[in-house]
Amino acid sequence: MATTVKEIGSWQSKGTLGQGGFGTVTLWQQKETKDEVALKQCRVNLDAKNKKRWAMEIDIMKRLKHPHIVQAKDVPSELQLGQGELPLLGMEYCKKGDLRKVLCRPENCCGLRQEQVLDVAKHICDGVEYLHSKRIIHRDLKPENIVIQENENGQLVYKLTDLGYAKDLDQGSVASTFVGTLQYLAPELFASQKYNQTVDYWTLGTVLFECITGSRPFLPHMPPVKWHGTVKQKTDEEICAYINEEGAPIFTEFLLTPNHLVELYRKGFEMVLRNMLRFEPDHRGGGLDPETKRPQCFVFLDGMLAVHVVNVLYMNTDTLYSYGIRNNDAMSVIQKQLEKDTGVAPSQQDILLPTGQSVDPQKPAVQYTQGENQPGFTMFMFRKGNVPETLPPKPKPDRVNMIIQEPKTLLSYNDRKKCWGQAVYFCNQQAKEASRLLEGARASMLCTMRLNHQLTDLHKDMMSQMHKLEAKQDMFRSSLEFDIDSYAVQSPTGITSEKMFRSWKNAEREIVEDFDSLKRVYSLNGHVNITQTKIVELQKSPLSRQKQVEGLVEVEVAAQKLYRELQQSKGGEAGCTFQDSSKMQNLIIKSINYRTKQTKELYGHLQKLVYCKVESERLVPQIATSVNEMRNLERRMISHQQQRQKDIWTLLKHAVSRVHNTVSPPVSAANNIHYSRQSSSASVTSSGSGSGSGSATDLLSLGNKPLQDSLTLVNQSSVTRNKFDDVVESIKAEQEELLQATETKKWEFLNS
């Protein structure tokens, strides 16, 4: 099947995906179902040995099934070749291209982003370990043979492909054929020595190093003839070699900088690479783990990638700290680490989530990592009540400083690529760090808004309580003054109680004093209004809504464009000449100026935010205390009012009792009077029968005066009783009317 054919039956060619040592890969699509298949067609001029290797690749691919190995697919019957021709290899189509294209992007000139590095490491190591479990060596691991697929969740999946050089160890545990791409070959392949699966550890380590730093680890520009002898000088712990300014090779145990890894992962990958990049094959991989029987390099890598990571940006210095945590570690453990690294005591640490919520020191820290393996999730720490006016400048990469200081220095293509690569990285970091600070400022703004919402509710409750309390206090004092005046009017001739009267006056004094102390509420009201006005102004600030710094992203894009032009010039005449870095210097200076301006504005904004937050935190408990005091005062007023009503009814009870006692003498006295009257009558009758009518008249005249006085007294008492009853009823009516008016008009809240 010629690759120029555009259509066969119901299948349509969508173009060439790539070309390799054995042949060409073409994409085909079914017209109706839109199913896609990548077909690899072998070159017709292969010799017998390579034809056998081609058949082996097809056989191996069909036997493998793993999420990180490109899946073999059946070749549609319409696209099958005729008899005598080498068979086609059908594979799944990975739409996102290969890793080499990703690494060649200008933004990745100093390595992939941390999240990408972790995914590549996990996926490709899983794929390699799977091949080894099937006793297959890949032998040609390189970025071009790692393709990228997007799954149904939109996540990128990295897969191994192109097993044309794969070796089935069932044909012999040790191979000796010289295969693979030169720049990624293990040392034993350079020396044409026998090898085993550890050659994949070397090439895997080389690929990982390149993903992290943007360049291969060992002298990538040295001629192959000299390369093997030079690299052989390295120790087992050294993972990188480069040429210094004097032209001498320098070996190091550490990853090249700059790169995008935080310290936690940087140290972890250095450990992994020290196992993978050992010169001697027998030492490579770190041996087998005694428990799992897996290579130590894979066991360590899995352990590192499984660690939950907490990232905390200390906003006072713009420093990112990353900590690995165990499932049962509380946030207080992280706070102690932060105290060690920043010098800020846990009590002074204000740690916020991007949503503005404060973390709970007692909760497991893993709850704040957004699930497993989310290394990009960042929290923000402020020193309570303290934000600097601006930030000191951070150190710049060495080659960036050289461009700034010596922009006219003429550099070769390779030197320019190194310098400009660091310049692109620097501009990217400027934009990234500025965006991260803006995110921290938004978290602070959201936290302040949460406090402001709480403050608003408490403030509204406080003022509502205060207005109600004023009305209740006015009614209480009016009612009390009426009762005191009424008491004073009747006290000269009525019933009195000095103890009761003093309690009324004491209640009045207590309520007035407590109410006067609560007038501080109006001062709090003023402070709240001022603070909330400032918060509203801060909400309107563009810095509260901005996600990136104006100008910095544009400078980053311009720097990437300049670097891309440099890449494209390599094959042309410009690649052979020396050029200066004036254009790149202009972009670097622009980036620095934009960042300096943004930092000054942002930290001025943060200082205002912190002030409002501190003020809100100060006002909230004061308002809550005032509201509680007002409610307590309200309850005491009700209690005093109820007690006074009881006192008044007790007075009425005593008054009525006294009136009844005055009008109706005791029963014993009435009997005495009755009996006294009977004796007098008997005496009169007896005297009259014995002495004559004159004696009766005298007695009657003697008895007329007391009887008349008694009758007059009874009449007067009856009138007095009626009048008092009227007064009592009047007082009762007035008290009931007052109580009813109090309850229905001013004291309606008592029913709520």
Q: List residues with catalytic annotation.
A: 140
Report whether 82 contacts 190 (CB < 8 A). no
Residue type, 454: Q
Residues whose CB falls within 8 Å of the CB of residue 21, separated by 6 or more in sequence, listed in order: 164, 165
Cα 692 to chain centroid distance, Å, stands at: 124
Report whether 392 contacts 319 (CB < 8 A). no
Which of 222, 188, 192 minimizes the C-alpha distance to 203? 188
Question: Which residues are paired to 249 by β-bridges?
Answer: 243
How far is it, in rounded angstroms, from Cα 7 to Cα 70? 25
Tokens in use for 686? 């007896």
561-570: long-range contacts (C-beta < 8 A, 24 or more apart)? Answer: 561/106, 562/420, 562/587, 563/106, 563/109, 563/417, 563/420, 563/421, 563/423, 563/424, 564/106, 566/413, 566/416, 566/417, 566/420, 567/104, 567/106, 567/417, 569/413, 570/413
Report whether 194 contacts 176 (CB < 8 A). yes
Q: Which residue has the tokens 């008895």?
A: 703
How far is it, in rounded angstroms, from Cα 106 to Cα 560? 5
Q: Is 160 exposed, middle or buried (0-12, 13-18, 19+ CB in 10 A)?
A: buried
End-to-end Cα, the chain, rounded Å: 89
Report whether 276 contacts 297 (CB < 8 A). yes
Tokens in use for 619? 């006002």
Report whether 322 contacts 264 (CB < 8 A). yes
